[in-house]
Chain A
Amino acid sequence: MSTVNVDEKLGVNKFHVDEGNAHIVLKDGPDLAEYHKLFLACPAGLYKIDDSGVLRFDYAGCLECGTCRVLCGKTILDKWEFPNGGMGVEFRYG
């Protein structure tokens, strides 16, 4: 099976990224078991674990589904809001 490249898929989408104004904030030093849930469930693959085990998260590319808030809103997220009006993903098809 070919390994998915989510970033490439997100690349076809239209985003208005609110630079410097994160609508999702991950806690510092998040619990790894909790983080792993988001690694599996985030449809945009934003909760990354690289080959050396380093965690990387970026809110740009967020599809605003709410999965991470439902799973970890009370554990490893400091904040989950909708992006400000007009910002974030803009579905051209939906």
Chain B
Amino acid sequence: MNHYPLRWAGNTTRKIKQKGNITLSDFDAIIVGGGLAGLTTAYLLAKEGAEVLLIERGNFAGAKNMTGGRIYSHSLEKIIPDFAGEAPVERRITREKISLLTEDSGVTVDYASPGLAVQGQDSYSVLRADFDQWLAGKAEEAGAQMVTGIKVDDILLENGQVRGIIAGGDEMAADVTVLADGVNSLLAQKMGFREELPPNQVAVGVKEIIELPAAVIEDRFQCHGGEGTAWLFAGQPSGGKVGGGFLYTNKTSVSLGVVCTLSDLITGAATLPQLLENFKNHPSVAPLVTGGKMIEYSAHLVPEGGLTMLPQLFGAGVLVTGDAAGFCLNLGYMVRGMDLAIGSGECAARAIMAAKREGDFSAESLSRYKTALDESFIMAEMNLYKKFPHFMENTPRIFAGYPEMASDLMAQLFIVSGQQSQPLYKKAGSSMKTVGALNLILDALKGVRSL
């Protein structure tokens, strides 16, 4: 077993306990994982004067983190008002686009509105290496201790109570351990809080970051300085499988990627990297990124099962937050994870402070976390959209069928061959024939009901 030197600032008033002596805790809380959920909890606890240790396996907070992506500001705005003024956000998103792509054509909806730019209900494209390091800096400033480059191997259990963690053979004790270790939370699996992730409830996202000058981005995506576009694509990007493509504009780069549900991806013909390559070469996409230089290639799993895939969220001395808890919403036209991670991190901090005041870290005491989640936007949204993952999975026409139908209808509207034209109702009727009018109506009803 490898032993790593555990180093931190050493400004804690409490001493690190000897091995085997874990009756007293070294920390009020140990947080596993320096993503947005864990960093939020660390920041809020430290601000309240709690002794917090955050352990991150990467060489810095954010080193292992990846997003599409954009963050909806509301939950962080509540914790750090005006955060976008100081945080390394990329662009405020003021233009939303959705495209249905066939192999060679595209139909696009384009929405731009000042409403997208109102503080507190706005959203920003971000790159996580920078963004997470900024939040880590805030947490450290508030007094949280950070250890990076250390992997937590196991949970320290004593009579069913979680007492801390084991890393590189060293034990560290805390009153509460927070599992904020991401979608692949092996610790939550080891604890029996969840089974292995089912392939129909997780998607894999793969992304290229393509560098382009700011002025080129603003021209190509019709945005003012500092503002940007979010763009989701259905159809061709996922090869007609459950999934889609995405594009987000950053300051001097574009994030371009494909997301596919695992269970469906493995029934296709193309590899995931090939799907991304095909998407990048699509005639509607290629001109947007031409001349750009690929500067990073990354991938990540996305928990997409919604409410049905939530694990056990708390136990004696332990809480599960963020992606580790499956807090993510994919509504097809919108993907949310980071705002939920931050919200769950806040709920965890509140529950830990209340438990600390009472000196009670039992499961019952920490059930405050679940109560806080229930009263927050998180469980409200997870409940509201609980049927949607099932709808997407069971409506293959969204990914293969409707893009072709939309394209066919547009072709009939816009392509002039010199032959006599058909009346509009006939044009629409013939486009719908492949899918079937009844399927169209049923899918629309099911879709609307699941939203």
Query: Interface of A with B (CB < 8 Å)?
Result: 1-4, 6, 9-10, 12-13, 16, 36-37, 39-45, 63-67, 69-71, 73-74, 81-86, 88-94
Contact = CB atoms under 8 A, between A and B. Distances in A.
Interface string B107-139: 000000000000000000001111110000000
A40 B298 contact: no
A40 B266 contact: yes
11 contacts: A3-B277, A13-B297, A40-B265, A64-B64, A65-B184, A83-B151, A85-B167, A86-B149, A89-B298, A91-B62, A94-B132
Contacts of A6: 273, 297
Interface stretch (B196-204, B361-369, B407-415, B424-432): B196-204
A64 B297 CA distance: 12
A81 B128 CA distance: 23
6 closest Cβ pairs, A-B complex = A94-B128, A86-B149, A43-B299, A4-B277, A43-B206, A66-B184
Interface in B190-228: 196-199, 202, 204, 206, 208-209
Contacts of A37: 266
Contacts of B301: 65-67, 70
B64 A45 contact: no
Given A43-B273, A67-B301, A71-B266, A2 B295 contact: no
B291 interface: no
Interface in B145-175: 148-151, 167-168
B196 A9 contact: no
A15 to B, nearest CB: 11
B294 A91 contact: no
B127 A1 contact: no
Given A43-B299, A94-B128, A73 B272 contact: no
A40 B322 CA distance: 28
Given A67-B204, A70-B199, A84-B151, 6 more contacts: A13-B296, A39-B271, A71-B266, A85-B149, A93-B253, A94-B128
Interface string B257-296: 0001010011010111110111001000000000000111
Nearest to B133: A94
A70 B196 contact: yes
B168 to A, nearest CB: 7
- Interface majority SS (helix, strand, loop, mixed), chain A: loop
A4 B276 CA distance: 9
Contact of A63 (B262, B277, B298): B298
A86 B276 contact: no
B58 A92 contact: no
B299 A94 contact: no
Nearest to A39: B271
Contact of B268 (A40, A44, A65, A90): A40
Contacts of B277: 1-4
Interface string B223-266: 00000000000000000000000000000010000001010011
Given A91-B64, A93-B253, A71 B199 contact: yes
A4 to B, nearest CB: 4
B420 interface: no
A85 B4 contact: yes
A91 B208 contact: no
Given A13-B297, A41-B262, A85-B149, A90 B63 contact: yes
B32 to A, nearest CB: 11
B266 A41 contact: yes
Interface in B292-313: 294-301
A52 B296 CA distance: 31
B297 A93 contact: no
A13 to B, nearest CB: 6
A85 B209 contact: no
B353 interface: no
A64 B167 CA distance: 19
A50 to B, nearest CB: 14
Given A9-B297, A93-B209, A85 B168 contact: yes
A90 B400 CA distance: 36
Contacts of B276: 4
B121 to A, nearest CB: 25
B183 interface: yes
